[in-house]
Amino acid sequence: MYGQDKLPRYTSYPTAPYFSSAIGEKVYRHWLRSVSAHRPVSLYVHIPFCRSMCWYCGCHTSVTKQDAPIAVFVAALRREAQLVADTIKKSLPVANLHFGGGTPTIMTPELFVDLADAFRYAFFVLPDAEIAVEVDPRTLTNDLTQALEYCGVTRASLGVQSFDPRVQRAINRLQSFEQTAAAVERLRRVGVRGINFDLLYGLPFQTVSCCLDTIAKCVELRPDRFSVFGYAHVPSFKKHQRKIAEESLPDSVERHVQSETIAEALQDAGYVRIGLDHFALPDDALATAQREGRLRRNFQGHTDDSADTLIGLGASAIGRMPQGFVQNVVAMRDYLDRIAGGRFATVKGYAFTEDIERIMCDLTVDLEQISRIHDRDPRTAVVDRARIDRLLADGVATMSQGRLTVSEGSEFLVRSVASAFDAHLPRSTGVHSRAV
């Protein structure tokens, strides 16, 4: 029943459709000027280019066969970083630097080094900062691997999705186990100590059997973390997804079985389940953060990043300030024009009034505590009380002394529980994915 609901992923709350144009460049400048130089911040850098389009992709990216557009964009990123530094007028310490995409490793080695050096010039990247990059194993060269080493990269996230050949053909992403293993070996050889794998379930022609086969192969390489997301089929929003035949997609029941089978296989292999959709080795920082109640969730998923400020750089990049969310314009030409004119590319955002993050991270929430935080009546902390009553009656969640907790074995339905706190959902016109 709940698994067929169409719900947000709650990687941010409120979700991006509720960002407002009232939060623009002027507000962003004001928020930046209030950033403290005494607390480390994080940087997220969005590289919106790929060499080919994976048909399942839900990211803001475009295909280019040439390096020139990438070089022009990187020049704008350098300028944007300096705009931030000039606005803050302080030497801002950076504890986390994440290159996302798209495909960050589409850059030439020289361009990647140049961009990393520009960030070190604009900010004070701490000596022990975590520097992470999303990697396409199919195109990772030895020269680029050496550039990652030179730039001090400490963590790499490798897109895998599935090793089943039929699934790979259906999503236009042919990637062998051998290519992936070679990329892992190169990265570890140059000292990249954290390896993440990204997997998807609910893909066309995907079965429980091929999910288990993919997990078995992945476990051989012993990555430190897994991100396991359900494929969100929204062809009205991402037109390239129309190349995936809907009749080839598993139904809700099959998606649930795939999700829980993957979870059980990873736990059997020694990984700890982190919140909704992540898994980590017991000594990994993400597992430690969960045990200590420090787990966070942002638009990339679960994280142990404790920074209150996340500065987003690049077209479509989302940032999080203590006061709220900000997002850059998506269109590349608009982004380049704004930055070239010495302006920020911020076009929308949201000033915080609520928080749904704890239930997604801890699988439990103290209703009285969040009511105090937001100065609300505890009786109205839950927006959809009828939904909570149904979840409680069905055993999906329990309530004790004002604390709502997702029941053991029902973790995969945490989005259904979180949706009861979503004041925006009843009037939502956005396109959401299945809860499972």
Per-residue confidence band for 433, with pLDDT thresholds at 50, 70 and 90: very low
State pLDDT tens for residues 350-363.
877 555 667 878 88
Sequence-distant (6+) residues with CB within 8 A of 251 are: none
**272-282 residue pLDDT tens:** 999 888 999 99
From residue 136, give the alpha-carbon distance in Å to each of 11, 105, 150, 328: 23, 7, 19, 25
Q: Residue 429: its pLDDT value, please?
A: 46
With cut-offs at 50, 70 and 90, classify the pLDDT of residue 51: very high
Q: Considering the chain, tell me which residue range(s) the CATH 1.10.10.920 domain(s) occupy.
A: 357-429
Q: What's the pLDDT band for 95 if we cut at 50, 70, 90?
A: very high
Query: What local confidence, expressed as pLDDT, does residue 413 receive?
Result: 87
Give the separation between CA 301 and CA 279, rounded to whole angstroms: 11
153-183 pLDDT, tens digit each: 999 999 999 999 999 999 999 999 999 999 9
Task: Examine the pLDDT at 18 and tell me if it is beyond 50.
Answer: yes
Given pLDDT bands bounded at 50, 70 and 90, which one contains residue 407?
A: very high
* CA atoms of 427 and 406, how far apart (whole Å): 25
* 3-class DSSP assignment, residue 157: strand
3-state secondary structure 294-355: CCEEECCEEECCCCCCEEEECCCCEEEECCEEEEECCCHHHHHHHHHCCCCCEEEEEECCCC
Contact 61, 49 (CB under 8 A): yes
Beta-carbon neighbour count of residue 147 at 10 Å? 22
With a CB cutoff of 8 Å and minimum separation 6, the contacts of 56 are 161, 171, 173, 200, 203, 231, 241, 244
> What stretch(es) of the chain map to CATH 3.80.30.20?
14-351
User: Which amino acid, one-letter code, is at 175?
Assistant: Q
How do strand 397-400 and strand 364-366 relate by DSSP bridges?
unpaired
Rg of the chain in Å (alpha carbons): 21
Domain 357-429, CATH: 1.10.10.920
Regarding the domain with residue range 14-351, which homologous superfamily does it belong to in the CATH classification? tm_1862 like domain (3.80.30.20)
Q: Tens digits of per-residue pLDDT, 291-347?
A: 999 998 877 778 999 899 999 999 999 999 988 899 999 999 999 999 999 999 999
Cα(168)–Cα(360) distance, integer angstroms: 30
Per-residue pLDDT at 436 exceeds 60: no
pTM of model > 0.85? no
Q: How confident is the model at residue 111 (pLDDT cuts 50, 70, 90)?
A: very high
Q: Are 269 and 261 in contact (CB under 8 A)?
A: no
Mean pLDDT value of segment 89-97: 94
Strand partners, 351: 324
DSSP strand pairing (155-161 vs 124-135): parallel
Instruction: Tell me the torsion sign for CA atoms 6, 11, 15, 21.
Output: negative
Asked if the peptide bond before residue 102 counts as cis, ω within 30 degrees of 0, the response is yes
Q: Report pLDDT digits (tens) over 229-261.
A: 999 999 998 999 999 999 999 999 999 999 999
Q: How confident is the model at residue 423 (pLDDT cuts 50, 70, 90)?
A: low
